[in-house]
Amino acid sequence: MNRPEQDIILACGRVCGEAERSELLRSIPKRELDWDYLLLMANAHQVTSLLYWNLHTACRDQVPPQIFRQLRERFLAAAGRHELLTAELFRILDHLGKNGIRAIPFKGPALAHTLYENPSLREFVDLDLLVRRHEVFKALRLLIDLGYSGLPDCASYGEAEVLDREYHYAVEREDGQAFVEIHWNVLARHFVLPVPIDGWWERAGTALIQSRSVPNLSAEDLLMALCCHGCKHMWKSLMWSIDLAKLLGRRPDLDWDYVFREYGAEDLRRIIFLGLNVANIVLDARVPSEIHKKSIQDRAAVDLALQVKATLFEHHGERGGLRFMRFQSKMKSRRMDALRFCYRTLSTPTLTEGHGVLHHLCRPLHLLRRLSAPPRK
């Protein structure tokens, strides 16, 4: 049974009418609430703006004034970041475009403006851009012109090896005001799961962000991207489930035949089924009945979704390397792929790690420390 603070956060994330959500929130007794815990969990799941907005609408008179002030301040701070990063996105897209690179923004402002009634309610702290594999390093070097630093040192590896081993690379603006991730895939090689993304550029449409048209993934490919991201981080942030639930609510016309044709590999289907089960079990998301029947036939996807729900409000960030390994191994339909995943995860160095004997001895310790750290978004 959930704590009332958890019920409030879940009610804010549900895709339903304003009247229904307000009724849900008003029905939760507020006298015994641990408001500090509520704020802590909302911040951990990046739904503070949603919490502020819905409490303001449904039951402001039941919120202690000092708590409401904190919520409002955090909402305004998030809205300020939203404006700053959206302007930065336009600047980057313009610069890349002038140099012949078509980048597709996903997550961040793109999700905020296509899935949320009020874009300010979708919190984000960085920008994610998808570029074609052969243009990755050109794009990264172009970001230097805009004041970014932190390009990968390829002296020990070579660009081709970096592209094979990683799936994205992050750079930060020198003034610390913006953090950008350049993606050329959605999952790293050690997940042993190639995602067919070559056609994403041809199928991409456009999104309207502050009256400007920008490239945007098709709804079907966005579904895959969201499910991969959530699975990669074990769906530990409620915000990711809300994104998926809102996509399902906004796009009841999703081409499911295309989804299961394009992502027909058994383990890719499991990633989708896991995402759908998480969204349905945690937030009562509207999954089409025929698709829901298929998703609950995958026992592993159902079991993992129930695990996500049971651990959603554990101390945020305590993922644990062993739990991560078990979770991702259960996503594999073949034992050999699970073994390959474990081997690659433990043996593949990151860009900041070396290749010597000490690397092979210390890699598991580095990995467990990295996997136990909370995701950036």
353-367 pLDDT tens trace = 544 333 444 555 555
In this model, does residue 193 exceed pLDDT 70? yes
pLDDT in tens, 26-55: 888 777 899 999 999 999 999 999 999 999
Of 1-10, 41-50, 145-154, 338-347, where does the model show the most confidence? Answer: 41-50
Task: Label residue 374 by pLDDT band (50, 70, 90).
Answer: low
Instruction: Tell me the sheet residues that pair with 169.
Output: 182
Is residue 245 a contact partner of residue 279, using CB atoms and an 8 Å limit?
Answer: yes
Q: What CATH number labels 81-217?
A: 3.30.460.40
pLDDT at 377: 57
CA quadruple 374, 377, 2, 48: dihedral, nearest 10: 120
pLDDT, position 277: 98
SS3 363: helix
Confidence of residue 344 (pLDDT cuts 50, 70, 90): confident
End-to-end alpha carbon distance in the chain: 27
pTM value is 0.90
The CB density around residue 219, as the number of other CB atoms within 10 Å, is: 19
Mean local confidence (pLDDT), 7-33: 88
Retrieve residue 167's tokens: 């799936």
**pLDDT reported for residue 109:** 95
Nearest to 307 by CA among 274, 348, 285, 338: 274
pLDDT at residue 240 tops 60: yes
Residue pLDDT, tens place only, 271-311: 999 999 999 999 999 999 999 999 999 999 999 999 999 99
Residue 373: pLDDT above 90?
no
Q: Quick check: 132 pLDDT over 80? A: yes
E-state strands within the chain: 104-105, 127-130, 148-149, 168-173, 179-183, 205-209, 212-216
Closest Cα partner for 15 from 334, 285, 368, 301? 285
The residues near 276 (Cβ < 8 Å, ≥ 6 apart) are: 227, 244, 248, 285, 287, 291, 292, 295
- For residue 320, pLDDT beyond 70: no
What whole-number distance in Å separates Cα of residue 64 and Cα of residue 62? 7
How far CA 154 is from CA of 66, 158, 280, in Å, comes to 51, 5, 43
